[in-house]
A and B are shown apart, each in its own frame.
Chain A
Amino acid sequence: MRKLALLPFVCLVVSAMAQDPFIGTQVRITVDNASNSANETTGAASADGREIVAGFNDYRSGGLIRTGVPVSSDGGQTWSHLIVRPPTQNQTSVEGDPMTAYDRRTNTLWVGAIAFGGSGGIFVARKNPGQNSFAPSVMARVNSGADKCWMEAGPRPGLPNTTRLYITYNEGVIRSDDLGTTWTTPLSLGSGIGFLPRVGPNGELYVTYWDFGTGVMFRRSLDGGQTFSTAVRAATRLDTWGTEFNNGRVPGDYRIPPIHGMDVNPVDGSITIVYCDTTNTIGSNRNLDLWMTRSTNQGTSWSTPTRLPFRDLTQLGDMFFPWIEYSQDGRLHLLSFNSQYTVQNDGGSDGFLDQDYAYSDNNGATWRRFRLTPNSFNSRNDGRPSAPAFMGDYSGIAVADKVVYPIYLSTQLGKSVGFTNIVSNTAVLPTAFSFFRGTRASGGLESLFFRDSDSLVGQVGLVLNQQEAPIQLDVTAAGVVNTNPSQLRVTVWGRVNTPSIRQQLLMFNINTSQYDLIDTRNASQTETLSDIVVPNPSSYITPGSGTVRARLAYSAIGPVTQPGWQAQFNLVNLQIVP
């Protein structure tokens, strides 16, 4: 088996687009070590991105499965790991298939899941704004045969100041008009699985599902879930397979039910579906790609499916379990498993997988894609006691207005663990730079904008005394609107070309008119991320102009054999968290 030498966070440029988000390093969200395995991840976030709830199947000792609920109230930096259960009389040994939802109007978050068997069914718990715990759960539906549910909140049709909650699952759709306290009885949506509800800008309810065959099915309700259109086939998959086996379509031994992602663009009301299908075969390997179809007329007709351009057709690889979400600005976010970073055959017990995040600002016409996992992880190491492995049937994305949290699993710690990366669209790019000490060897201002092959390179220069750093890069950003943010961070991707170099970050304090030392660390010879939180952010943002001035200083802390050593800056920007 040959592994490709690809760096983590390799940005695969599909086409030039708007400013890339800043993608933070992995943050573990299933922090309770008593959790033996985590899968079927999902999540939702408040509009400001501060409050996040996630959900996953949480495998505990004794063969118990619980609904693990990671919660963050600081924008995904730290997480607590809760267990949410149904009322006592409805509890069972297997409680999973989590779902989450967020209501913009009331700023409320929910988590729910299914207690399988016994007197179980679908349970839901509400987290009111600003609270770190959930209200006691309620049963939305008591039925031991309930299966895979998803949840959505939105206005009732034509009534923007209302909230209606929907849960769709195998029995059909149920709804609540009192923030999840009471629920209707189910209205059947027919035979299928993976019923996924989404609400359009004017309260339109859209539901997609898999028909167990080749159909990606769609139904629409324009009266708040009371009646539905007949099912239409949004797309026909060329290949098909069952829920239990992958039959040699991907590397490793785990099931890959072809459940798809769907969402509504809040800006233009269009609907996008992304699903996986076999595109071609190379040798005995079947290659699964992500395919997309769209509707601009509320699902009446659908575009010819197009393959997302994430694989050269001559290369081996599979992408599956796609999940998509639109943010309020119309950006389309995608999360998917990907086996392409390791050259490997389908089948066997070991599947080396990664997680990719991608975004599109034009409804999927072009994309930029990023690898989230630092190395490929082995599907076999899922932490469960017996084969086959289980990678879940889906992943999720918690979307806030300016921050996105892909919620996914990885086995990189020897068992299946939940992770996220803080994907921040709050970056402020530099507007100017200069070398206070040292000289520019190559690159320019735009070299600092993207993490790509183009870097700004500085070389040691003259200093006035031995204490001065011989490379000092001054970076200025202007136009920061929020002069009192909750957080100001400076992010730098860079490296030096010799050992024994120290990196320091200094920030210009508008109150003292002096530079304050914020951070000191050793510089690396391999490109490394420095993601530095600046305390007291308002001290460094000039009111009116919104100017921020940062200085990156590099000096020797030991013998340096290269007299003309350099510092290379691939990306430098500010992150302004509201």
Chain B
Amino acid sequence: MMKLLEIKPWAGLVVALITTALAGCVPKDNAGLTSGSGGASPVEDGASPKSRLESQRLADATRGLRFTRDQVEVTARTSNDRPAAVAKTASAVKVMNERNIWFVAVGAFRDAVLADPRYAPAYVGLADALLMEGKTDLAQAALRTAVRLDGRDPEARYRLGLLRQMDSDYAGAVLEWTEVVKFAPDHADVYARMAIASYYARDYRSAWEYLSQAEARKQNVPPQFKPMLLEVSPRP
């Protein structure tokens, strides 16, 4: 359990693999789909020196998938082969960890998704791989898909909360984590994360409440946090 508290990019996937999704629903809401037949669209320029190259790599690695704000839709032919999806996901985790090349990892998880689009852990891994290149918007779509497929996977929702924090949506992050604690209150450092997000949202009362929960559950609270909170709000 303590190892999971370290929030390794693929740690949740381990959990997700154990709690393999039994069933899910195929996304039905096609509203807001991006144009094109699949893959993220290449852009002409962007934030980094090599962004044009990276955009093309992203398009190649996600070929057969289409991203909306809320979900990943499969546009390629799939095999609905669950054992193959499980094996490909495990293999992709290894690729991501050992090779540490984002577009290779994205492609590997894409293959797992295509093997069985209803296999939620493949989307969690896909989100981790997309995050390696900073694609928080696409990663959110992948995690939302995983949550839809397996609403009882705390890690997918936990990570969705982190991604919403990355997007400066602290209130949204707390919402996701509130869902996590409903059925997995001891998951990772979820209460500590809720305390921190509440602190950033200047809801200090909630921050103290969540911090108390985190401390009671011996969750990993970054040691610099409590002094920061004390600086702006005395402990109730």
**Taking beta carbons and an 8 Å cutoff, which residues of A are in contact with B?**
39-40, 57, 59, 63, 65, 94, 96-97, 116-117, 143, 145, 147, 170-172, 188-193, 211-215, 233, 235-245, 247-249, 254-255, 257, 278-281, 286, 291, 304-307, 313, 384-386, 388, 390, 393
Known: A188-B100, A242-B131, A242-B135. 19 other contacts (CB 8 A): A39-B49, A63-B52, A97-B49, A145-B103, A170-B101, A190-B98, A192-B100, A213-B8, A238-B199, A238-B222, A238-B225, A240-B166, A242-B134, A244-B47, A247-B166, A279-B228, A281-B200, A281-B201, A385-B45
**Taking beta carbons and an 8 Å cutoff, which residues of B are in contact with A?**
6-10, 44-50, 52-53, 96-104, 128, 131-136, 162, 165-168, 196, 199-202, 220, 222-225, 228, 231-232
A578 to chain B, nearest CB (A): 38
How far apart are the CA atoms of A97 and B200 in the complex, in Å? 33
- When C-beta atoms are compared, the residue in chain A nearest to B97 turns out to be A191
Which of A57, A193, A235, A255 makes the CB contact (< 8 A) with B47?
A255
Query: Are B132's CB and A212's CB within 8 A?
Result: yes
How far apart are the CA atoms of A215 and B228 in the complex, in Å? 19
Query: Are A244's CB and B134's CB within 8 A?
Result: yes
How far apart are the CA atoms of A240 and B189 in the complex, in Å? 14
How far apart are the CA atoms of A240 and B231 in the complex, in Å? 21
23 A-B residue contacts at CB 8 Å?
A96-B49, A145-B99, A170-B101, A172-B100, A191-B96, A191-B97, A193-B132, A214-B7, A214-B162, A233-B6, A239-B196, A240-B162, A240-B166, A243-B48, A244-B134, A244-B136, A245-B47, A255-B47, A286-B200, A305-B222, A384-B45, A388-B47, A393-B48
Query: Are B133's CB and A171's CB within 8 A?
Result: no
Q: For residue A39, which residues in chain B have a CB less than 8 angstroms away from its CB?
A: 49
A543 to chain B, nearest CB (A): 54
How far apart are the CA atoms of A185 and B24 in the complex, in Å? 43
Query: Are B200's CB and A94's CB within 8 A?
Result: no
Query: Are A213's CB and B101's CB within 8 A?
Result: no
Query: Are B132's CB and A245's CB within 8 A?
Result: no
Q: For residue A233, which residues in chain B have a CB less than 8 angstroms away from its CB?
A: 6
- Given A96-B49, A249-B168, A244 and B133 touching (CB < 8 A)? yes
- Given A147-B101, A171-B99, A192-B100, A244 and B202 touching (CB < 8 A)? no
Which of A63, A191, A243, A249 makes the CB contact (< 8 A) with B9?
A191
Q: For residue B135, which residues in chain A have a CB less than 8 angstroms away from its CB?
A: 242, 244
B202 to chain A, nearest CB (A): 6
How far apart are the CA atoms of A236 and B136 in the complex, in Å? 20
B193 to chain A, nearest CB (A): 9
- Given A170-B101, A171-B99, A238 and B48 touching (CB < 8 A)? no
- Given A236-B220, A238-B225, A280-B232, A390 and B48 touching (CB < 8 A)? yes
How far apart are the CA atoms of A145 and B128 in the complex, in Å? 17
How far apart are the CA atoms of A279 and B47 in the complex, in Å? 25
Q: For residue B128, which residues in chain A have a CB less than 8 angstroms away from its CB?
A: 212
A496 to chain B, nearest CB (A): 46
B70 to chain A, nearest CB (A): 18
Q: For residue A281, which residues in chain B have a CB less than 8 angstroms away from its CB?
A: 200-202
A157 to chain B, nearest CB (A): 25
Query: Are B53's CB and A117's CB within 8 A?
Result: yes
Query: Are A145's CB and B47's CB within 8 A?
Result: no
How far apart are the CA atoms of A307 and B228 in the complex, in Å? 10
Query: Are B168's CB and A212's CB within 8 A?
Result: no
Query: Are B53's CB and A212's CB within 8 A?
Result: no
- Given A236-B222, A240-B162, A313-B231, A96 and B200 touching (CB < 8 A)? no
How far apart are the CA atoms of A388 and B188 in the complex, in Å? 35
B189 to chain A, nearest CB (A): 9
Query: Are B45's CB and A386's CB within 8 A?
Result: yes
How far apart are the CA atoms of A257 and B131 in the complex, in Å? 12
Which of B9, B228, B231 makes the CB contact (< 8 A) with A213?
B9
Closest 10 CB pairs of A and B: A243-B134, A244-B134, A145-B101, A242-B134, A304-B223, A236-B222, A386-B45, A247-B168, A242-B136, A305-B224
Query: Are B134's CB and A213's CB within 8 A?
Result: no
How far apart are the CA atoms of A211 and B162 in the complex, in Å? 13
Q: For residue A190, which residues in chain B have a CB less than 8 angstroms away from its CB?
A: 97-98, 100
- When C-beta atoms are compared, the residue in chain B nearest to A172 turns out to be B100
How far apart are the CA atoms of A255 and B49 in the complex, in Å? 12
